[in-house]
Amino acid sequence: MPALILLTADQLSPALSSLRALQPGDQIVMAEVQAEAHYAPHHQLKLVLLFSAMRHFADTLQAQGYQVHYFNYEQQVPSLLAAVRLVLTQQSGIDSVRLTELAEHRLATETQTWQQQLGLPVEIVEDDRFICSHAMFRRWADGRQSFRMEYFYREMRRYTGLLMDGAGPVGGQWNFDAENRLPCPPDLKLPQAPEFEPDAITLDVIRMVQQQFAGHMGQAEHFSFAVTGKDARAAFLHFVQYRLPLFGKYQDAMRQDEAFLFHSLAGMYLNCGLLDARWVCLQVEQAWKAGAVPLAAAEGFIRQIIGWREYVRGLYWLKMPQYRELNFFAAERPLPGWYWHADTKMNCMSQAIQHTIKHAYSHHIQRLMLTGNFALLAGLSVDEVTQWYLAVYADAYEWVELPNTLGMALFADGGVLASKPYVASGNYIAKMSNYCQHCHYDVKQSTGPTACPFNALYWDFIARNSDKLGGNARMQLTYQQWRRKSPDIQQALRDKAADLLIHLEQL
C-alpha cells in the first residue's frame, strides 16, 4: 500500500516521524508553494534559507534511493494541497497520504479536511522532534491559573535529565539568569560567526529570489547561512567552542554595529529541522561537563531550548486560534515606515532594524527591549507588529513568533504568558548597550527637542494604562515612582509623549 509523504520547509529532518515508516513504493513530495511564500512578506534571506535547504534535503533523500517529487517556486504550485494533488494525478497506485503534523494552526486546520477532499486516507503523525508533546503540555497546564515558564522549565529539566544531580539541579539552583545580564565591555573581542559559501543550488535560489521577491526586505546575494544539517551542526559546534563560554554573561548585551555577539543563531536551524533540540542541548551539557563552559552559560542556553522554545510552542497550541485575536491594550497605531527601512534618528532602533535588514536576524533583547518595547510603548497595531516579526526573521514561524511577540513583547494577551509588561525607558538601553553614545537623542533627557523618545513614552504608557496595570503586583514600584512626580512633570511627560506619537514617522 504505497503512501505519499508530504514534507514542508520546516520538516527538513531525517528522523522526522513521517519518514520513519517508509516502505518500498512510498514516494515523497516537497514544494516551494506560492501560498507559503506570500502569506507574509518574508525576508529574502529567509526565503533563500528555506528553499535552498529544501532542495538540498530533497537531493539527499534522492541519493538515498527515495523517489522525491519536487516542485520549484517557478512551477507556481499554489498550495501544499495542490502539490499533493499534482503527484496523485501523475502517479498511479498511491492509496494514502502521510505527513507529520504541521506546525502552524492555519495549516494544521487545513489538513483536517484533506482526507475528504482527496478521497484517500490521510494519516497525520505527531511531530516528536519537540520534547514536550501537546498532551504533556496540556497535563502541565491543566488547572493552573497562570502559565509561568520557570515552573514548566523545571519540569522539563526533570523530564530530560539535563543538568540534573539526582532529583535536583546541578549547582543547587534551577536558574542562573541573574548572572546573565551584563553589558558587553567595549574592549572585549567578539568571535566571528561562521559563514558558508553558497553552492550551485543556493546560487540558483538566490537568483530566483532576486527575481521573484525583489520588493521584500533584504538582499539575497548576502546569503551565507548553512543549508544542510552537516553545516548547521558545524556552525553550532563552532558556537559551543568559541561563543558559548561568554554567552551566559553577555546574552542580553548589545553593542554598536555588532549583530551576533555571543549568540548561536541556532533558532533558524532548529525551526526548519536542520538541527535537533535534544542534540544541541546534549552538546552544551557535555561542554559544561568537560569544563569548557561555565554552568551559568550552559544553563542559560538550555533554558532557551527546553524551557522557552518548548513553552511557547505548548502555549500556542493550547490557546489558538483565539490567542491571535487578543489585544489587551487595544493597540492600533500604524507601524512606522522605518520599521522596514531603519531610517530613524533613534540609534538603538536603527541598529536593531539594520541588523534585521542585513541578516534576517536580531537577538532576543533587541527584539524584546528595542523593537518590541517601542511598539508596546507607542501602542502600535498588534496585527501589524506580529506580521512584521513573522516576515523579517529567518527563524520566525507563527507557533514561535506569535507568543513571543503578542504575549511577551506586546503583553497583548493581558498576562497569559508574562506576569508583567516588558517595558523600559532609555535607561535600560543605556545600561545594556553603547547605542546611546552614538544617538541623536539624549538618553538623560525626558522632555525637550532632543530627549530620548523612550523616556516620555515609557511614563505615558504607565499613566494611560493605570486602570489595567495599577493592580499588578510587579508594577507597584513603578506606579509609586509615577505618583511621586509633581503634577507639572507628569503633564510635561504626557505632553511630550503626545507630540512623539503624532510624529512617529519623523523620529
Residue 414 CA to residue 378 CA, distance in Å, equals 17
What average pLDDT score do residues 287-304 get? Answer: 96
pLDDT exceeds 90 at position 49: yes
Mean predicted confidence (pLDDT) in 10-35:
93
Buried b vs exposed e over 348-378: b needs ≥16 C-beta within 10 Å? bbbbbbbbbbbbbbbbbbbbbbbbbbbbbbb
Average pLDDT over residues 348-368: 96
Cell numbers linked to 172: 543547587
In terms of C-beta density within 10 A (0-12 exposed, 13-18 middle, 19 or more buried), how is residue 459 classed?
A: buried
153: its cell numbers = 522549565
Residue range 243-269, pLDDT digits in tens:
999 998 999 999 999 999 999 999 999
pLDDT score for 180: 77
Closest-CA residue to 367 (of 341, 395, 344):
395
d(CA 23, CA 25) in angstroms, rounded, equals 6
What region does 414 belong to: left with phi over 0, alpha with psi -120 to 50, or beta? Answer: left
Question: Could you tell me the sign of the dihedral formed by the alpha carbons of 101, 102, 108, 113, in that order?
Answer: negative
**∠ CA(249), CA(255), CA(256), 5° rounding?**
175
Total Cβ atoms within 10 A of residue 120: 16
Checking if the pLDDT of 184 tops 80, the result is yes
HSE, CB side, 13 Å, CA atoms: give it for residue 90: 12
134-193+243-318 is classed in which CATH architecture? Alpha Horseshoe (1.25)
Confidence label for 25 from pLDDT (cuts 50, 70 and 90):
confident
Instruction: Please name the fold of domain 338-506.
Output: DNA Cyclobutane Dipyrimidine Photolyase, subunit A; domain 3 (1.10.579)
For 316-327, what is the mean pLDDT?
96
Is pLDDT at 192 greater than 80 in this prediction? yes
Q: Give dist(CA 451, CA 419) in Å, integer.
A: 30
Domain parsing of the chain, residue ranges: 3-125, 134-193+243-318, 338-506
Q: Considering only CA atoms, which of 52, 44, 43, 2 is closest in space to residue 22?
A: 2
What are the grid coordinates assigned to 484, written together? 511621586
Query: Which residues fall within 8 angstroms of residue 240, CB to CB, at 6 or more apart?
Result: 283, 284, 287, 292, 293
Mean pLDDT of the chain: 95
Q: Do the Cβ atoms of 4 and 84 come closer than 8 Å?
A: yes
CA proximity to 125, closest of 270, 18, 214, 205 = 18
Residue 113 CB-half CA count within 13 A: 7
The predicted-structure confidence for 121-152, as pLDDT tens digits, reads as follows 999 999 999 999 999 999 999 988 778 889 99
Of 149, 124, 119, the C-alpha closest to 137 is: 149
Q: Residue 77 burial (CB < 10 Å; 0-12/13-18/19+)?
A: buried
CA distances from 394 to 53, 82, 363, 421, 495 (A): 12, 25, 12, 26, 39
Question: Which residue(s) pair with 28 in the sheet?
Answer: 5, 68
**Same fold across 134-193+243-318 and 338-506:** no
Answer whether the bond into residue 321 is a cis peptide, omega within 30°: yes
Give the C-alpha separation, 294 to 121, whole Å.
Answer: 51
Residue 179: what pLDDT?
77
State residue 1's pLDDT score: 75
Q: Where are the beta strands (DSSP E) in 162-269?
A: 164-165, 168-169
Provide CB contacts within 8 A for 77, sequence distance 6+. 31, 32, 33, 34, 71, 83, 86
pLDDT at 62 over 90: yes
> Nearest CA to 48 among 179, 212, 182?
212
Domain 3-125: CATH superfamily is HUPs (3.40.50.620)
* For range 35-56, the mean pLDDT: 96
How many other C-beta atoms are found inside a 10 Å radius of the C-beta of residue 388? 25
pTM for the whole structure: 0.94
> Which residues are paired to 5 by β-bridges?
28, 98
